[in-house]
Amino acid sequence: MGYIKKFFKPYIDEAQVYSPGGVLRLLYQQRQDWIRMMSNESPFEPSPRVLEAVEEAIHKAGWYYDSDFVELREAIANYIGFEAERILVGNGSTEILDMIFRGFINPGDEVILSDPTYPLYPIRIEVAGGKNVIVPKILPEYYWDIKGIIKSITPRTKIIIIDSPNNPVGNTIAEEDLKKLLEQNVLVVLDEAYGEFADKPLTHLAKKYENIIVTRTLSKAFGLAALRIGYTIATPEIINYLTKIKIPFNVNYIAVQAAIAALSDKEYLKRVKNDIARGREYLHKEISAIDGLEAFPSQANFVLVKITKPGVTGTDIEWKLADKLVLTRKYTGKAGLIGEYTRITVRSMDENRRCVEALRKIMREY
């Protein structure tokens, strides 16, 4: 049956498959008392308005919905202060990113990334036939090497990707540095999946620059990860172009109604942002005070923790926390990171405290 592979596109056949979970995900499915601090999910239920909207929308599950998502685009437009014609809705921001890669990358085109970064990017770039050009970030803060990025631009460069706040570090790019990249003759994709948690999101730059494409999501601060709602902001020309790639009815009616309700509840969003900020500050302060651990400053809903005690690995911490029913994400060996790391999602204060206490006990054992 090996002959069938002759029909495969080589650059797709050779690409990896992105897996957000693994053994710990399977463990969680077996135990319902785990603390989920591994996937940057919201620790809170969605807004009560969302729950009401979902309950009402389920009765229309047999209907097709407006594939242009006019009502939702208007709600997003009101939320971010852009015209609806500059917004495109996707099945999570991951689908939007995939549309961008498929729409702009020809086989052999280059996309500049800065490791460490979201590991989905290079995989989906390869599926689109693109070539990943990696510019390592600058230690010790893992900040973007702006001069290095600009120097890496060639005639084959199509896109520069900036995720800010960055996953997994949690830091943000300075506005002036992003402007330097926007002054180059390439597309700049600004992934602001964690933008609601940042002190100063940079979405507004899409009002000035034609070559920026901003992607955002309702998965994080709005707590709608399972419903898959993302969107992009760009010029009307880019939006019209990407619309030709978009699959009709790519977002389901129930998710659309939930998103509209979520965007209308400003008080809920304010509470979530405040609670996450307090929890993030607590985790950063308390973890950094533990001998052998160093938490990075973050403007997302997680903290990256470097393990500085000799002989202790990210795998050690991951599994010892799992023994205490706390699930985190090991980041040892991930592209661009030097040393041993784990990433910890901000949860409720009770869960945050349980995680910190578990880390204290674990590190005292070494």
CATH code for position 22? 3.90.1150.10
Decide which of 265, 295, 310 is a domain's last residue.
265
Q: Are 258 and 50 in contact (CB under 8 A)?
A: yes
pLDDT computed for residue 28 by the predictor: 57
Q: Do 257 and 350 belong together in one domain?
A: no
Q: Do 179 and 253 belong together in one domain?
A: yes
Counted domains in the chain: 2
Neighbour count for residue 318 (Cβ, 10 Å): 21
Q: Do 215 and 340 belong together in one domain?
A: no
133: left (phi over 0), alpha (psi -120 to 50) or beta: beta
Q: Do 18 and 133 belong together in one domain?
A: no
Per-residue pLDDT of the chain (366 residues; tens, 9 = 90+): 576 666 667 777 776 776 665 555 556 566 667 888 998 999 999 999 999 999 999 999 888 888 889 999 999 999 999 999 999 999 999 999 999 999 999 999 999 999 999 999 999 999 999 999 999 999 999 999 999 999 999 999 999 999 999 999 999 999 999 999 999 999 999 999 999 999 999 999 999 999 999 999 999 999 999 999 999 999 999 999 999 999 888 999 999 999 999 999 999 999 999 999 999 999 999 999 999 999 999 999 999 999 999 999 999 999 999 999 999 999 888 889 999 999 999 999 999 999 999 999 999 998
pLDDT computed for residue 14 by the predictor: 72
For 196-221, letters b (16+ CB in 10 Å) and e give bbbeebbbebbeebebbbbbbbbbbb
Q: Do 53 and 41 belong together in one domain?
A: no
Q: Do 88 and 184 belong together in one domain?
A: yes
Q: Do 221 and 162 belong together in one domain?
A: yes
Q: Do 250 and 302 belong together in one domain?
A: no
Decide which of 207, 234, 265 is a domain's last residue.
265
End-to-end C-alpha distance for the chain, whole angstroms: 53
Q: Do 79 and 23 belong together in one domain?
A: no
Q: Do 299 and 253 belong together in one domain?
A: no
Q: Are 12 and 127 in contact (CB under 8 A)?
A: yes
Decide which of 265, 280, 296 is a domain's last residue.
265
pLDDT computed for residue 27 by the predictor: 60
Give CA–CA dist 296/302, Å, rounded.
10
* Domain span including residue 79: 48-265
pLDDT computed for residue 20 by the predictor: 63
CATH code at position 227: 3.40.640.10
Q: Do 223 and 281 belong together in one domain?
A: no
pLDDT computed for residue 10 by the predictor: 74
Q: Do 11 and 160 belong together in one domain?
A: no
pLDDT computed for residue 21 by the predictor: 59
